[in-house]
A = this chain, B = another copy of it.
Amino acid sequence: MSFAALLLVDIWLTGGDGSGDNSLPVKTKLRLDCSWFITLQLISRIPELGIKKPFTEVIRANIGDAQAMGQQPITFLRQVMALCTYPNLLDSPSFPEDAKKRARRLLQACGGNSLGSYSASQGVNCIREDVAAYITRRDGGVPADPDNIYLTTGASDGISTILKILVSGGGKSRTGVMIPIPQYPLYSAVISELDAIQVNYYLDEENCWALNVNELRRAVQEAKDHCDPKVLCIINPGNPTGQVQSRKCIEDVIHFAWEEKLFLMADEVYQDNVYSPDCKFHSFKKVLYEMGPEYSSNVELASFHSTSKGYMGECGYRGGYMEVINLHPEIKGQLVKLLSVRLCPPVSGQAAMDIVVNPPVPGEESFELFHREKESVLGNLAKKAKLTEDLFNQVPGIHCNPLQGAMYAFPRIFIPSKAVEAAQAHKMAPDMFYCMKLLEETGICVVPGSGFGQREGTYHFRMTILPPVEKLKTVLQKVKDFHIKFLEKYA
């Protein structure tokens, strides 16, 4: 099977606009779109297929997988994990005392003092307490209740679980779920899996991908004709768009959710990834409480976090948590039951989450190294965010908004009409055609904007900024050269 044909498989499998694929002989009702990971899987097969290409290395800039791009794990986190995994090491002089202290505490909270036991479905108690303490610190004292914390298998699991308990009804009363466009395709995939109704609201590209409440109003009004909009999903900092919402904007969104009685889902997995000096991460929970009891006692909110992003990039452990506020007690009972069907999230992932929310503090033996490692990762990401924005904006036919946060660039690309025609001849979305050519010619794998959704007639791609600085510079230069050649070819 040729490389191009392999990619074509992906294209056929990819809906891209949330509408999924209806062409399969359907034994199943599933209609899913999730392009980027399939792309990744196909690409990972290239070496086996022995395809000769004009590049020496495939650069997987398609997925936010920091350690796969060479980022080193945080030493303290892995030390605690190793101690928990093989407690004989608790006697070893080569591990610092503060790591041992954390490990002993975690093991004591596990059945049989082992990561190998099931935890409660909601997660290990002391880890939920640590998460609540972290949220309280993060939010300047706004209290968090461990009872509202649920540990999850990455954030994805939390997001799909919450959607599962919220979606109901049929026909015009089917649950509508509002998601940003562009969005992270987990949302459209789960909405499709649950046969819920996807309600798009568009982020404002001209205004640095800001969320405009008037656009939310438009979307909800139009949706009411054909579904029952009940859920509003926000991704802040944005994926793939990288914007960081202002406090004012968050207030407006909360007020809107309160007015419309919408359940707010705040995907805040990039809360540590803010780079623009003018931007600050504000949690929805904090703003909600600061808006007073009329809001904080009524607006239902679930907020999601993960071990996979931030400065730790521990994707493989599938650690995460959600904090759920103002959920009806009986729905809460259903939530616990639903979680208990799968028994419990991976306990090693729970332990990783604990280190993230309960890192070394000044005065502890490991603090200095931890702090240095963390600041190095975040400092580098900030540098690469600026570098990427600057370099893309030097290329004719590419425009890139500032990367205020998260770990992606989502530049707008100009695709000449002759290239659009060529794509159509291949039955491909124009930006998929573009990304495929880029991959074939440079080995750089990025995800077409149609995988995330975009305003009709505009084209984008998502590229991570995770490669090390020097490699990222090479990548950007290659994209630039490719783009100029592409413009010439289809002029």
Contacts and interface: CB of A to CB of B under 8 A. Distances in A.
A17 to B, nearest CB: 16
Given A168-B28, A348-B346, A34 B340 contact: yes
Interface stretch (A117-125, A426-434, A442-450): A117-125
A29 B167 CA distance: 8
A75 B312 CA distance: 28
A279 interface: no
Nearest to A313: B116
Contacts of A343: 37, 154, 156, 315, 318
Contacts of A313: 116
Instruction: Work out how many copies of this chain go into the complex.
Output: 2
Contacts of A491: none
Interface string A339-381: 0111111111100000000000000000000000000000000
Interface string A79-105: 101100110010010100000000000
Contacts of A40: 120
Contacts of A179: none
User: Which of A40, A115, A121, A338 is most buried by chain B, counting CB atoms within 10 A of its CB?
Assistant: A115
Interface in A37-85: 37-38, 40-41, 44, 60, 63, 65-71, 73, 78-79, 81-82, 85
3 smallest CB-CB distances across A and B, nearest first, come from A68-B111, A316-B347, A82-B86
A6 interface: no
Interface of A: 9, 13, 24-30, 32, 34, 37-38, 40-41, 44, 60, 63, 65-71, 73, 78-79, 81-82, 85-86, 89, 92, 94, 110-112, 114-122, 153-154, 156-157, 160, 164-168, 186, 189-190, 193, 312-318, 328, 330-331, 333-334, 336-338, 340-349
28 contacts: A28-B165, A29-B168, A30-B337, A32-B337, A34-B341, A37-B121, A41-B121, A41-B122, A44-B120, A67-B111, A68-B114, A68-B117, A78-B86, A82-B86, A110-B316, A115-B317, A116-B312, A116-B317, A156-B342, A156-B343, A160-B341, A189-B341, A315-B343, A316-B347, A318-B343, A318-B347, A346-B348, A348-B348
A154 B343 CA distance: 9
Contacts of A112: 65, 67-71
Nearest to A347: B316
B342 A153 contact: yes
Contacts of A330: 24-25
B81 A337 contact: no
A411 B156 CA distance: 40
A98 B94 CA distance: 22
Nearest to A169: B29
